[in-house]
């Protein structure tokens, strides 16, 4: 199973967004069957995590993502491999 966590260090800002400080992202397989076949990741509130949403969370709340599959993450949310705020873990 893929490790994919959205981490927001500021608990107050996380609450304002309806999120926890550590959020497990879900790979929604039902959306993966689309024409492009790219993975789709959802936040716990079932909103899609895309490039714009991640960058807003990063810039406004100091959010970061930890993952063990950078390629799948990049395909899914449309970011480059060297995007600030992404950490690859083992």
Higher pLDDT pick, 38 / 1: 1
pLDDT-based confidence at residue 19 (cuts at 50, 70, 90): very high
Q: Which whole-number Å values give the CA distances from 75 to 12, 32, 50, 51, 78, in the listed order?
A: 30, 11, 10, 10, 5
pLDDT-based confidence at residue 63 (cuts at 50, 70, 90): very high
pLDDT tens readout for residues 64-82: 999 999 999 999 899 999 9
pTM score: 0.86
Residue 58 has pLDDT above 90, yes or no: yes
């Amino acid at each position: 199973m893929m490790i994919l966590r959205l981490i927001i260090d500021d608990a107050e800002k996380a609450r304002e967004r309806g999120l926890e400080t550590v959020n497990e992202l879900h790979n929604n397989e039902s959306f993966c069957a689309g024409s492009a076949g790219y993975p789709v990741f959802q936040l716990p509130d079932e909103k899609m995590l895309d490039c714009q949403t991640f960058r807003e969370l990063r810039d406004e709340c100091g959010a970061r993502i930890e993952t063990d599959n950078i390629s799948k993450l990049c395909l899914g949310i449309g970011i480059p491999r060297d995007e600030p705020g992404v950490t690859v873990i083992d």
